[in-house]
Structure 1
Amino acid sequence: MKSSTRSRRTVAVSLAGTAALLLAGCGSGDDSGGAADGARSLGFVNGSNTHFHTCLLKAVEQEAKTQDAKVYSANSKQDAGTELSNIEDMISRDVDALIVQTVNVDALEGDIAKAKSAGIPIYLTSVATSDMDDVLGAAVVDLKKVGALDAGWIEKDAAGKAATVGIVAGAPGAASDLLVGGFEDALPKTAKVVANQPGMFNPAKAQDVAENMIQSHPDLDYAFVANEEMAFAVRKAFDAAGAKDVKIVSVNGTEEGVAAVEDGRLAATVANSALTIGQTAVKSAVGLLDEKQGVDKISDIPLVLVTKDNLSEAPQYCPK
């Protein structure tokens, strides 16, 4: 039975090459956990412990039950070396496929090679690789577009006037670099980035960055923050410094983030539902393994720029 399953994996890898899989979260808080037994076994290697990653894990586990699949989860805690170790552990479990929420796109080459040599296909969440040949599939968030949508809001709000912008990025590599790159590329020429520092997806770190930023640039007009958890801390820092007029744009579209847009703490946020990403990843990975017709190798996750004018259009972010 195992040998026939392994041969089907090899066929799936060669026929269904596409983006690498990134799924977030660790259910039990350690490096191993699983849903109920199922017809398929999936390894889920999450990148961090943020709200996004926690919601992503919940979505993966819930959809796995629907798809009659068992999930083993691990968390790389923003470390590429830990990510590779987690993938090696999943290989030792002989899972049918690996879903990966990577911590660094550059690290994926080695991860994919390890899994390929073991005959286990990888499915990516959030990002894809430039070479899709050795990947099962991907649920892709166009992170550059996410950044561009926030920049577009600033362009519209500034209405041609000169503006200064601060950036509180995430952790260097993978998602943050793509977000910030898309944001900077789409800013109008009248907007000048005067500060760009990593908040490491850590609210305490982001608050320190924001405190230093507003001291150095007290006339700051806008701030782009790479996720809402950091954005709330940045808002506190700005308000404490008397800079309540700085308009903050962010990313995620969590329930708390949408509420912050409604009450004015955030000016806008871009919703990219963790629920949708997790559901799509599991459903597509299982479908591609089973060679079902009509299953896309690459699935684009819908994006919504959420402002006070369209709060009701924000999709559900986290599973109940």
Structure 2
Amino acid sequence: MGYTRKAWTLAVAAGVLMMSTASPAFAADCKVGISIKQLNAPYFAELMESAKKAAKAKGCKVLTADAQGKVMKQIADIEDMLSRDIDLLIMDPAGPDGLVQVTREAAQNGVKTVVLDSSINEAAKYVTVVQSNNKKNGELVGQWIVDKMGGKPLRIALISGAKGNPVGRVRRESVLSGIAKAQKQKYGEKNYTIVGHGWGNWTQQGGLNAMEDILTASKNINLLVSENDSMALGARRAIKAQGLTDQITIAAAADGQKQALKLIKEGKYGVTGLNAPDLIANTGVDIGIKAINGKLPEDFPKITYTPPVAITKSNVDKYYNPNSAF
């Protein structure tokens, strides 16, 4: 069955691409290599675990590697996987440009590549990138912020993941764009200031450190915007230590981490964007298996989005699972 880009996005939203229990005809001979850029945050650990489970459920042998945030290590890991005759590479790249050549090497060896979560240079050879709709999620989060905080001037502490990361850039720009658009529509003008900007490397400890530095420079802040939940959760510890929990609203562009959702339920955390690692991993493996079986349309889109959602207290019960690994 062929899909247009729009129809394919709707198919993902409807669950059409979720894993089936049926295995491909040659599944017993299938070997999947999974390379994740780092496993030092719950999101990436769950992305790896979900991808492993999905591939094994398809009857495939699985090789895994943690790039530890290092492009050169990830290249070496993937080259080792290629030498061990994998059929499918599932990759969360440590950088958008450094992995281009190794995807070409994979293609030359008949190996299909599916990219998860992060973006990659379009010069790479890959089937598709599977990720949450960071732009739409960010805009929804920005709109919620203005609905929640009204017309007051926003003084923002901004915490980003890693310098040069394209997904992080889209997340922060989209939240700020959503804020500006909503403010102009409701109040006639943009009214926010970035008081401080820190880099948290996607982790709770990084978020804590970044927020401590920002608060040392200025406590005149009423909004935290973080590019993921882990950093926001770390930053919240710094906010709590300074006695500023009633003053500062917490907003994350992504992920829907269990700890964050619990705090949303309790009214202690404002909003986050849906970026479910299990949905992304399952979808990516399913697409990859279809690719190595020759069952994808020729015009298959180069990016596959999961549905955009801003998770707030009004809808958190749909997404909170206290037994989730993430």
State the TM-score, normalizing by the size of structure 2: 0.80
Specify the alignment match of 1:249 in structure 2: 251
> For 2:243, what is the secondary structure of its paired residue?
coil
Specify the alignment match of 1:84 in structure 2: 75
> For 2:152, what is the secondary structure of its paired residue?
coil
Which range moves more in the overlay, 88-97 or 297-306?
A: 297-306
CA-based RMSD: 2.3
> For 2:100, what is the secondary structure of its paired residue?
helix
State the TM-score, normalizing by the size of structure 1: 0.81
Distance change in 2, residues 1:275/1:51 (3 Å): same
* Post-superposition CA distance 1:255-289 (Å, at most 9, x none): 22210111123111112111101111111100111
Which range moves more in the overlay, 207-216 or 125-134?
A: 125-134
Specify the alignment match of 1:198 in structure 2: 199
User: By how many angstroms is 1:319 displaced?
Assistant: 5.9
* Post-superposition CA distance 1:144-179 (Å, at most 9, x none): 333323222222223222111111111222432222
Specify the alignment match of 2:281 in structure 1: 278
CA distance in structure 1 between the aligned counterparts of 2:62 and 2:270, rounded to whole angstroms: 38
Q: Return 5+ residue gaps in structure 2 as ranges.
A: 1-26, 181-189
Say whether residues 1:46 and 2:47 are aligned partners.
Answer: no
Aligned residues of 1:127 and 1:141 also touching (Cα < 8 A): no
Matches within 5 A, 1:176-255: 176-188=168-180, 189-244=190-245, 245-250=247-252, 251-255=254-258
Aligned residues of 2:156 and 2:193 also touching (Cα < 8 A): yes
> For 2:82, what is the secondary structure of its paired residue?
helix
Matches within 5 A, 1:1-320: 38-49=28-39, 50-129=41-120, 131=122, 134-172=125-163, 173-188=165-180, 189-244=190-245, 245-250=247-252, 251-292=254-295, 297=301, 298-314=303-319, 318=324
Distance change in 2, residues 1:72/1:315 (3 Å): farther
Amino acid at match of 1:221: N
Aligned residues of 1:103 and 1:174 also touching (Cα < 8 A): no
Q: Return 5+ residue gaps in structure 1 as ranges.
A: 1-36
CA distance in structure 2 between the aligned counterparts of 1:204 and 1:185, rounded to whole angstroms: 27
Specify the alignment match of 1:7 in structure 2: none
* Post-superposition CA distance 1:213-268 (Å, at most 9, x none): 12222120101112222222211101111211201111211222210111123111
User: By how many angstroms is 1:313 displaced?
Assistant: 2.4
User: By how many angstroms is 1:112 displaced?
Assistant: 2.0
User: Identity of paired residues, percent?
Assistant: 20
CA distance in structure 2 between the aligned counterparts of 1:203 and 1:270, rounded to whole angstroms: 17
Distance change in 2, residues 1:133/1:174 (3 Å): closer
Amino acid at match of 2:92: Q
CA distance in structure 2 between the aligned counterparts of 1:217 and 1:203, rounded to whole angstroms: 21
User: By how many angstroms is 1:142 displaced?
Assistant: 2.2
Give the total of aligned pairs: 284
